Each structure stands twice: as structure tokens, then as C-alpha cells.
Amino acid sequence: MSRRPGLIRLALVALFVIAWEFLARRFGNPLFIAPPSATAVATIAMLHDPALVRALLEALREIVTAFAISVVVGLCIALPLGLNAFWRGAFLPLVLGLYALPQVTLLPLFVRVFGLGPPTKIAFGATHGVFAVILAVLAAIRAMDPVLLRAATSLGASRRQLIFNVVLPSLVPSLFTGMRLAMSGVLLGVLLAELYVSTTGIGYFTQAFANAFAPAKLFGVILLLAAIAITLNELMRVAERRLGRWREEPGR
């Protein structure tokens, strides 16, 4: 019984791949769609291309850096807003207003400020993830039992002890939910910047393969980026399970 969900997922993936292979070969235009078999061959071949591997590693570094910035900045903004009603009333409407802006329209501004290069992609990616962290942490703080805060304060806990020993442990589930959403946003932001401002990165290869009508290589790049996203998401899931182990009931 415990293995059945995994088997169902594998069966669905296998059915999707088989259907994709059949439909692509039977009805697909080879200039626009490639079957999984051709995509797999192209992906393996691309992994032997030093320039593309460097572009992937550079994209990974930018994604990880932008994600770390979004988490740190999000926590630095959300904790004061969540724990102080005055700061929340003063600045939360500004944060929500910035969140409502279509961020893609701000990309030219990032280019003017940071130039063409990794700083623009990192900064633009971070803006796509920071709001998910802020909103998740704020919601978790508002839902936290105030008795915990009063009890810790009455026992003489300092502000630092209150944050690190009471607030942050209580935020672990919501924080990791926000971090997962932030990871998706950061990945989107970095790749959007790659497509518009990159001349050597993975965005350049994506556009080059699309313009050259090479769907197998294009799908291969998408597959590699998906593998990066899934790996990072799984690492966060493992970290969440380890950090939230204390919340499990004894004997379960």
C-alpha cells in the first residue's frame, strides 16, 4: 500500500511519455516538436558541450544566489512587520502595492541599474521570490498562538531569544511553503532575464535553438532546467523534514 502512490506516479509519467512519443512521430511537425527519444539523445549530446554546461552552471548559481537573497530579505522584512503592529500598518500596504506591480515591466529598469550580466538576473530573480516569503511568514505570524509569545516574554526571553526560540521554529512549515513558491518565482525571474538580457547564458541557447527550429535541443534545455528545479525543490523538502522533525508526535 505504501508504494502504490509512487507506482501510480510512475505509470502516469510512462503513459505521458508513450503518448508523446506516438503523437510526435505520427502527427507532429519535426520543425516544432520532437519525440522523447530524440529529446533524450539531444540532451545527452548537449551535456558534452562545454559552453552549454557552463551556461547551466551559471544559471544554477544565479538561481541559488537569487533564492538565498529572496529568503533573507523576505525574513528581514516580514519579521518586523509581523511582530510590530505599527510597522505592519505603515509598510504592509507598500509591500502589497509593489507585489501587485507586473514585475516583467521593471526589467528594463533593472538593466539600467545593474547592466547586462549576472547581477541583473540575480536581482530580477530575487524580486520574484521575496514576496512569497514575506506573505507566507506574515500569515504564519498572524496565525501563531499569542500565548507562546506572552509565556516566553514573561519568562524573561530577550527579543533575540523570542525570535530564534519561539517565532522561527513555529514558522518552519509556512516558511518552507513560501520558500517553495519563492523557488518557482526565482526560477521564472532568472530565466526571463536570461531570455532578454543574456548573450551567452542558457537564455541565449534557448533562443538559438528556437530560432534554428531544433525542438529536440530546445526540449532538452527545458528538461535540464526542470531537473534543476526538481532537485532544488527536493532539497528543500528534505531540509523541511529535518528541521520540522521536532513537531512530530512521539511514537508516530
Residue 179, domain CATH: 1.10.3720.10
In a domain, 15, yes or no: no
Q: Is the dihedral of CA 136, 141, 143, 148 positive or negative?
A: positive
Residue 10 buriedness (CB in 10 A; 0-12 / 13-18 / 19+): exposed
In a domain, 86, yes or no: yes
Q: What is the mean pLDDT of residues 154-160?
A: 74
In a domain, 8, yes or no: no
In a domain, 66, yes or no: yes
- Please tell me the total count of domains within the chain: 1
Grid-cell match 528594463, residue found:
108
Range of the domain at 187: 37-242
Q: Which residues of 140-161 are buried (b: 16+ CB within 10 A; e: fewer)?
A: bbeebeeeebeebeeeebeeee
In a domain, 58, yes or no: yes
In a domain, 152, yes or no: yes
* pLDDT over 80 (residue 250): no
What's the pLDDT at 251? 45
In a domain, 221, yes or no: yes
In a domain, 13, yes or no: no
Give tens-digit pLDDT for 74-87: 989 988 888 778 88
Q: Is the dihedral of CA 179, 181, 184, 190 positive or negative?
A: negative
pLDDT band at 105 (very low <50, low <70, confident <90, very high): confident
List of residues 6+ apart from 77 with CB closer than 8 A: 95, 130, 134
Give tens-digit pLDDT for 3-50: 677 688 788 888 988 988 888 888 878 878 888 888 888 888 888 888
Residue 58 buriedness (CB in 10 A; 0-12 / 13-18 / 19+): middle
